[in-house]
Structure 1
Amino acid sequence: MDLFQFLAFLFVLLLSGTGATGTLRTSLDPSLEIYKKMFEVKRREQLLALKNLAQLNDVHQQYKILDVMLKGLFKVLEDSRTVLIAADVLPDGPFPQDEKLKDAFSHVVENTAFFGDVVLRFPRIVHHYFDRNSNWNLLIRWGISFCNQTGVFDQGPHSPILNLMAQELGISEKDSNFQNPFKTDRTEELPCIGTYYMPEIMPSADCQQLLLSQGLCVIISPLAIPDAVLAS
């Protein structure tokens, strides 16, 4: 899958909602439980996309994909927030009936969760962008608050994502035992030139020079560091 195909796939994930359809809903049921089942399907698609992203062996493409993806994600989140606020949709209220509102609701829930996946798996890259963007900070704070009130994350395998994301981003105070489940102690102790560290791959010398020329970083792989250094 080349860069443009991967970006197209990611934007389909960002823009496709999973709002419960009217054919499945009863007049007395807001269909939140139906939506939760659809949400599980979307989460599997999102996690597969991130797995593929982590396996890319072209660092330059990986960097560009994350750059474009984050901009698109927060644009969708901002637009959906505007729609929901204008319609006075409450996160803990009935599941929206209007198709536009259902899409906005699902976009907020799914993209907030997806951003949590991204920040936990690629923390240094995300911090490089997020920490200098006050608008993104405000949007994700709102998104986390909204999602926490929907009931979608109350139980199940995705329930920890909002809290872990908030702690990783510094939105909430870190617990004394906080640990990013996708980081290792060894990774965090390694030296890093620049702004982020990706343990999955080691770029070529030409790619490292390209990153340095753009003011980015050399990505250091544990496999490229002698055991004597790691043991020191």
Structure 2
Amino acid sequence: MRRRSITRQLPFLLLLLVTVAFAKIDHVKEKTAETHGDATKLKAKEAPEHIDHKKLFTENFKQRRSEHKAAIESIKGIGKDKTRLFLEDLLKNIKSLLKESRETIERTAHLADSPFPHNSDLLKDAFSKLHENTALFTDLSLAFSKFFETKVQKDRKLKTLLVWAYNYSIKTGIFDSETEKKVNLMAQQHELIEKDEKFFNSYDKERVKEDMEAEEAQRKQKKSKKAENKQPKGEL
């Protein structure tokens, strides 16, 4: 039964890998094609003023977040060996897409607090890659904390990229309150920002359990030593 369950989950996880590799939130279709290049070459498109493009983007983003959560739960059920392989592939894709989005955003000189770039498919695509993959990395990092903490500690380029992704995405106003809270927690986890004294990651259930068991073992050990010290010593 266990093998059958894993087999059923694999197609969904493989689909997730493909989805992440080509992550792009769907936008309102517009007829005018865009010339890719720097900011001076981006052509404005005509769009009805009543359409709130940023709102549409954030609503689609929320839908993607639901898919992310379902994927995380599925990954947890495939066994440690398979999980590591999936995480390796996911991290590789996420790193690549964050790098692409950074290159595009910096080339076009679009600031994080600038108006939503509804007239640029190039920037909307970069925004999709940035926000989706920052959020997905956050979910994965918090759920599989030991794996990702080791990866970030050993990869300076990855950490530098995460610092940029965090600083930019947190200022755009795309994240909903729940996602923003988790992204801030991830940033503390990897010391992208100062870690709060009360920092606690409740999303890695296995690690929380291990930490609680370790604390309980220490408590019992201290109690045992205290009891031994209270026992009267024999006379010389």
Aligned residue type for 1:169: H
CA positional deviation for 1:157? 2.2
Q: 1:55 to 1:94 in 2, by over 3 A?
A: same
Q: Deviations over 1:102-161 (max 9, x none)?
A: 1111110110011111111001011121111011001110000111110113x4322202
Cα RMSD for the two superposed structures: 2.5
Map of 1:71 onto structure 2: 92
- Residues 20, 35 of structure 1: 8 Å contact kept: yes
Map of 1:178 onto structure 2: 199
Separation in 2, partners of 1:71, 1:21: 30
Map of 1:105 onto structure 2: 127
Correspondence 1:150-189 to 2 at 5 A: 150-153=172-175, 155-183=176-204, 185-189=208-212
- TM-score using structure 1 length: 0.74
Map of 2:18 onto structure 1: 11
Separation in 1, partners of 2:52, 2:115: 6
Map of 1:123 onto structure 2: 145
Map of 2:75 onto structure 1: 53
Q: Which has the larger radius of gyration?
A: 2
2:114 to 93, 102, 106: 93
Which protein has the bigger helix share? 2
Separation in 2, partners of 1:112, 1:162: 8
What secondary structure does 1:160 align onto?
A: helix
Separation in 2, partners of 1:229, 1:114: 35
Separation in 2, partners of 1:231, 1:32: 55
Q: Deviations over 1:37-96 (max 9, x none)?
A: 11100000111111100111x322111111111011100110111111111122221222
CA positional deviation for 1:189? 5.0
Aligned residue type for 1:174: K
Structure 1 unaligned runs (5+)? 192-226
- Residues 7, 69 of structure 1: 8 Å contact kept: no
Q: 1:59 to 1:82 in 2, by over 3 A?
A: same
- Residues 116, 161 of structure 1: 8 Å contact kept: yes
- TM-score using structure 2 length: 0.73
Equivalences, count: 194
Map of 1:221 onto structure 2: none
- Residues 30, 94 of structure 1: 8 Å contact kept: no
- Residues 17, 89 of structure 2: 8 Å contact kept: no
Q: 1:55 to 1:230 in 2, by over 3 A?
A: farther
CA positional deviation for 1:4? 7.0
Structure 2 unaligned runs (5+)? 1-7, 31-46, 222-236
Map of 1:27 onto structure 2: 49
